Chains A and B, each alone.
Chain A
């Protein structure tokens, strides 16, 4: 049963897109991944509005002082099992904003990150690649053949 559930979850992960104070560059690439050219809905990936429906939290932007508590709360509201993807150099490490006083750093200062996707911003293909890596891990490598590039 466990394997069926894991397979089903990996088949159609629902994503929550969270911007924690970035410039919106990565956001528009994440949203571009939903638009006709890349169309991640082919993989069953759907964008959801609420943390309670999400499997994967896709985070863009660095963690700012005022967003830290909110982000923690959203992470807590998301039901298990949950996975976190840090998109872009700001989410991975704080990036160019490292000298800004209101920026605490990357997402891993607040919650555990499963996949880091570097870039500024990463291309939608790179984002899909990163999410595919995550799905591979969720599915325990079972359906990895679909996502492995030629």
Chain B
């Protein structure tokens, strides 16, 4: 085996501390190092182009814990593996080298108990409030029943406690839920007047425990569970899942299946981006756009229903191919709808970029630099709006993306309007991809039989979901159930970056700036504001923010505190 250049560099610097290395699949190199070498290895790799942390996976091998750092350099994934004993699970944090790794380390800390010394994020990161500190659910010694019992015994989720920077604890009451499609995230803002100075996000409200459940179910059952990690980009999750499992099985699937998968992926992308346009329109107060885009989206959903049987969860990907074919008559209706979608997408792009009520609320809002996007490991259309040229479909082509001519859409607007342009143009690119795929689809089978058991092998699959880079890590156990399955969703990757985007923003722009990353978590909103100069703390919901923005535009108020003085500052939001 040819020793990759990077491994040679590591060997020179680390010497004995590089224990082993290898490359089982193309574009996948791994190196096992001693834990004293973590920072040296990561900074060395970062200086050789591996500046993007795709994910950090925790693993319980039964003999100890293992932490895998997955570093990406335009399509090539380098995994640095470190073993850590159960009784002394400490590692140095790499957030001073690559700040974007902060939430990944926090997640491994929550779920496995590895302590990353120097990680600034308070616990818990992904687990619910009140979760006991010494209890790490993904360790193998705990079964799902054990965890359920512990949660019930220790009253997890019954208290919502926020610890303030100063050390005092305040009891934060729950806010209302969002009216339209929104996700739960707890955001804490430090404001000065009407501008945001600092943002801290508390995620983890939608933690369900899927990774542990997957270890107790068969691959066939897990496929359907994977689809429901996110209902909007459902097919991206199943695509990633089948890629991981087929890679572990070394299964060759028919060409026709690959083309069908591409068509479904792109139809999903179109529907997701149109959905986002509606949501973004709603956030800037332009409900007409919500109605128009969702109306046009119905045509795409009709296609998806005709091909797969359901508008939202397609069940089209199976291990070994696709479940259903796209017959010729359906191909014609797809082509017709694509013509319509193309006309409409161009219309929306034209319309909204000339409309002052839209541009006023999106151009120049949520500004951040390209450098921020790179160091904070942003992904997807969000990153591409900030001049970061990353798209898994081009960097690491899967299925037949390598054979289909299309462009990555990158702009250098570096603001919310940029994210809109990127998504609108991506719809047009997807239309072209679908047309090409349908015209060049070969005949033949679309499915092969797949074994039910996966050997003790690891596989990492990455796809470009509508929201960005999605990563699935699989470790087979030799049986019908996986040993470990890890999912890193694109929204998790974008949270540190959106916190940066919001800095310097006007309070009234929070909804649209946050919506710009196309968040997909699920839940209610609860945003806490702190005006340090005045010493005032208050809590607002999205409804409050919208009301504030409307009044601000009318000129009735100019600062959040004025709104509170006049309309009542709420500590108990209802």
Contacts and interface: CB of A to CB of B under 8 A. Distances in A.
Q: Do chains A and B touch in the complex (CB under 8 A)?
A: yes
A31 B291 CA distance: 11
B311 A96 contact: no
Nearest to A39: B291
Contacts of A64: 128, 157, 205-208
B136 to A, nearest CB: 12
Nearest to B230: A23
Contact of B176 (A23, A37, A51, A103): A51
B225 to A, nearest CB: 5
Contact of B205 (A29, A66, A123): A66
A30 B523 CA distance: 15
A65 B128 contact: yes
Contacts of B206: 21, 64
A25 B227 CA distance: 10
Interface SS majority for chain B: loop
Chain A interface residue bracket vs B: 35 or more
A145 interface: no
Given A36-B294, A65-B157, A50 B213 contact: no
Contact of A96 (B228, B232, B298, B524): B228
B216 interface: yes
A49 B544 CA distance: 10
Contacts, number: 163
A20 B177 CA distance: 9
Nearest to A100: B209
A103 B178 contact: no
A28 B278 CA distance: 12
A121 B232 CA distance: 11
B137 interface: yes
A65 B209 CA distance: 10
Interface of B: 128-129, 137, 144, 147-148, 151, 156-158, 160, 174, 176-184, 204-210, 212-213, 216-217, 224-225, 228-232, 234, 275, 278, 290-291, 294-295, 298, 310-313, 520, 522-524, 541, 543, 574
Interface of A: 16-29, 31-32, 35-37, 47-52, 61-62, 64-70, 73-74, 77, 90, 96-97, 99-103, 120-121, 123
Closest 3 CB pairs of A and B: A25-B231, A66-B128, A99-B213
Given A17-B179, A23-B228, 17 more contacts: A17-B180, A19-B178, A22-B231, A28-B275, A29-B311, A31-B181, A35-B278, A35-B298, A37-B298, A52-B574, A64-B206, A64-B208, A69-B157, A90-B228, A99-B212, A100-B210, A101-B209
